Amino acid sequence: MFLKLHHNMILVMRRGGTIGRGRAKGNFMSQVLGRKQLMVMGAGAALLAVVLGVRQGFGFYLVPMTVELDWSRELFGLAMAIQNLLWGASQPFVGGLADRYGSGRVIVGGAICYAVGVVGMASAVTPTELLITGGVLIGLGMSGVGMSVVYGAVARMVVPERRTYAMAMVSTIGALGPFLIPMVTEVVIGAYGWYVSLLATAVIVAMMIPLGGMIRGKSEDETGVKVQSWTAALGEARKNRGYLLLVAGFFVCGFHVTFIGTHLPGFVAWCGLGAGVAGIAFVLIGGGNIAGTFLAGVLSNKFRQKNLLSLIYLGRAALIAWMMLMPKTEMTIYIFSGIFGLLWLSTVPLTSGVVAKIFGARHLGMLFGLVFFSHQVGAFLGAWLGGLNFDVTGDYNNTWYASILLGLLAAALHWPIRDQPVERLLTPKTA
């Protein structure tokens, strides 16, 4: 019985089929996970692990670089802000290029740009050099190897019913990067200094170049579906209320994770707790993120993805409210971090899955890229407003309260989304 169940779980993917008039003929490919599918999913998971893990570790360079080079923290923060905004702003265009010319080529180009940016950041001696390398080049490089490009490649390999599950499994393995790489970065900086650590990071980033070569091919017009240009895809998305609600809701995700990721150490210090508490908190967030992303994929097979998103945002709001009411002890911070980790990036495969479900995989890179841009705008404001709030009031309370309200708003935005495929996907293509 167990072997039969295991076999049925394996038979979850296929590349697609043809729909003739009245669905008469169908050349359906095997649902078994083939070598090419496994290779693309493995390469995609490794890419996400590196790009997200390296990004998560940049904060460790703030103190040693600003002290040695006599830079302000505002300058370093500005470079990181430019990095995040460019990552988001360029993602729709880069995703569109991947849809049209192939994810592999875009990934190789992005990895090269990313690696050059990290080497340049290590060699930067003026503020302008830091902004160009650590901000512009790394931001553009991360866009080339970012989530919309990777998810687009993975989504095109599997049947629509299993796309969210496949992307969640890729995200689960990819979540090991933010969990492990920052810890290694901290150790290397302590042992050998920030300059050597950045050069070692550039080598790790360069390893993404051959990974891009493993993801070949470009998006094809979906069999049995009416052909659509990228301009028509944008027009279709612009008129879809559910898509617009997704764009608005993902802003909240960016605000939450970046505010907490940037200011949790400061909040912990404000609570009078030791610096080591913040380090343990981030480990708990990273571990929870792995479990949460996996659960999101499993649950997406049983429940509507947009409803799961509503519950995640509602859970975030409730958890933050609980934390604000509780005494600020080490245990409170640990419980908050572990549970919030479950809700951390579990939104990403679910959100991209809803986009793919509504519009198909043909222009997923571009359409999810637009949603991701909204995420990055929220990320910018979460990092900036959190610091501004502290500078003006001496605490983070107002930003925490805003995070609660935004969580409730996102929960309300996602629930009414109509996540059914557009008519174009349901109407057979005529000869």
Give per-residue pLDDT as tens, 288-326.
988 998 898 888 888 898 999 999 999 999 999 999 999
Residue the block writes with tokens 């500078």 = 391
Question: Which ranges in 214-346 belong to alpha helices (H)?
Answer: 230-238, 241-270, 275-299, 305-325, 330-342
pLDDT tens string 11-31: 433 333 333 333 333 333 334
pLDDT reported for residue 379: 84
Asked whether residue 411 is domain-assigned, the answer is yes
Asked whether residue 7 is domain-assigned, the answer is no
Whether 283 and 322 share a structural domain: yes
Whether 250 and 194 share a structural domain: no
Q: Quick check: 79 pLDDT over 50?
A: yes
Q: Which of 51-55, 201-205, 217-221 has the lowest mean pLDDT?
A: 217-221
Whether 169 and 282 share a structural domain: no
pLDDT reported for residue 30: 37
pLDDT reported for residue 24: 33
Task: Show Cβ contacts of residue 295 under 8 Å, excluding neighbours closer than 6 positions.
Answer: 342, 346
pLDDT reported for residue 13: 39
Highest mean pLDDT among 89-93, 201-205, 224-228, 349-353 belongs to 201-205
Whether 108 and 153 share a structural domain: yes
Asked whether residue 11 is domain-assigned, the answer is no
3-state DSSP: the chain helix, strand, coil percent, rounded to 5? 80, 0, 20
Q: Which of 21-35, 151-165, 256-270, 389-403 has the lowest mean pLDDT?
A: 21-35
Whether 317 and 402 share a structural domain: yes
Q: Quick check: 416 pLDDT over 60?
A: yes
Residue the block writes with tokens 């390398």 = 133
Once rounded to an integer, what is the mean pLDDT over residues 364-389? 85
Distance (Å, rounded) from C-alpha 351 to C-alpha 171? 12
Closest CA to 215 of 415, 39, 21, 368: 39
Distance (Å, rounded) from C-alpha 14 to C-alpha 29? 6
**How would you label 382-412 residue by residue, b for 16+ Cβ within 10 Å and e otherwise?**
bbbbbbebbeeeeebeebbebbbebbbbbbe
Distance (Å, rounded) from C-alpha 230 to C-alpha 100? 9
Distance (Å, rounded) from C-alpha 266 to C-alpha 10? 45
What single-letter amino acid sits at 421? P
Asked whether residue 33 is domain-assigned, the answer is no
3-state secondary structure of 225: strand
Whether 131 and 43 share a structural domain: yes
pLDDT reported for residue 226: 59
What single-letter amino acid sits at 128? T
Whether 368 and 408 share a structural domain: yes
CATH of the domain at 257: 1.20.1250.20
Whether 213 and 241 share a structural domain: no
What single-letter amino acid sits at 162? R
The token pair that represents 61 in the structure block: 């360079």
Q: How far is CA 29 from CA 17, 20, 159, 384, in A?
A: 7, 15, 10, 49
Asked whether residue 426 is domain-assigned, the answer is no
Cβ contact 352:167 at 8 Å: yes
pLDDT reported for residue 389: 85
Q: Quick check: 262 pLDDT over 80?
A: no
Asked whether residue 260 is domain-assigned, the answer is yes
Of 165, 182, 217, the position where a domain reaches its end is 217
Residue the block writes with tokens 């005494």 = 327
**What's the domain range around 163?**
39-217
Residue the block writes with tokens 């360069």 = 206
Distance (Å, rounded) from C-alpha 384 to C-alpha 407? 18
Asked whether residue 201 is domain-assigned, the answer is yes
Of residues 114 and 234, more confidence is placed in 114
Total of domains in the chain: 2
Whether 275 and 388 share a structural domain: yes
Of residues 14 and 160, more confidence is placed in 160
State the CB neighbour count (10 A cutoff) for residue 327: 7
Q: Quick check: 117 pLDDT over 90?
A: yes
